[in-house]
Amino acid sequence: MITSCATIQSSPICRIFAHRGASRQAGENTRSAFDKALEYAIDGLETDVQLTRDCVPVLWHDRFLDKFGLPELRIDEFDFDPLNGLSAGTGYELMSLQTFINLYRGRCSLNLEVKIYDRESSQLQRGKIPLILDMVGASCVEDVFISSSNLDWLIFARQSSACIPLFYVLDDHQTPGELETVLREQPFLQGFCLPISLINPSVVKTLRDNDKSIVTYTCNNEAEILKALMLKVDILISDDPQLALHLRG
């Protein structure tokens, strides 16, 4: 359970989060995908956050706008309203973070993964922090946590808020040694989001010994889901939440 003021307890049962909603049944990060996911007994929704040119936090994963037929252009090259108009007929809407929070907060837990790309200036990266934190709420929260693969951004976010739980996202190119370095140097992190390929009993023990919460992604087949369940991670993120719920029993 995610508790307030930067304290996270391990869950008695692995919680299931829908990856960008029920993304195998509807366009990822859309209302249709989130609503479909909530038809199952999921515990949470995972989504991705970027900024438009006019600084509106929106739900979007990719670097480019391929899904809107603009493969070489980016979210931050457009203002929100005209970009939202481009989504017509594509099967992908552009939902603002504020709309997402208004619609789904209180119905399940939320994992907001803030996307940070190398091309972005330090000013733009830091500019995301107050916008997102204001929408989540300045007070300590129990139902929302923020994750990012950019460690510097998480450090900036920590300096802005001591309450909102922050999770570091690793990818499958990183090593247990890198994990241990971050654990040692950044004790403020509340947990780690790890690819299922990187999770093993030794990694789980290291994180438990340091009182960190464990999230694993993206568990999309029976073997991956059962592995996560047997290792007793706190949160399992899946494109197939229905299968994960069934296997969890």
Whole-prediction pTM: 0.92
Give the Cα separation of 217 and 194 in Å (integer): 6
Helical segments of the chain, H only: 31-37, 80-86, 97-104, 122-136, 151-160, 176-185, 201-209, 222-230, 241-248
* pLDDT value of position 121: 82
**CATH 3.40.50.300 corresponds to the domain 2-248:** no
β-strands 144-148, 109-114 pairing: parallel
Could you read off the pLDDT of 95-129 as tens digits, one per residue? 999 999 999 999 999 999 999 988 888 888 888 99
Query: In angstroms, what CA-CA distances link 219 with 193, 228, 242, 243?
Result: 12, 8, 12, 10
- Determine contact, residues 223/203, Cβ cutoff 8 Å: no
**One-letter amino acid for residue 119 of the chain:** R
Would residue 55 be called left, alpha or beta, if left means φ above 0 and alpha means ψ between -120 and 50 degrees?
A: left
Residues 191-208: what's their mean pLDDT? 97
The tokens describing 212, both together, are 């960190």
DSSP string computed for 135-187: HH-SS--SSEEEEES-HHHHHHHHHH-SSS-EEEEP-TTS-HHHHHHHHHH-T
pLDDT of 30 strictly over 70: yes
pLDDT at 10: 55
Tokens of 135: 């929408």
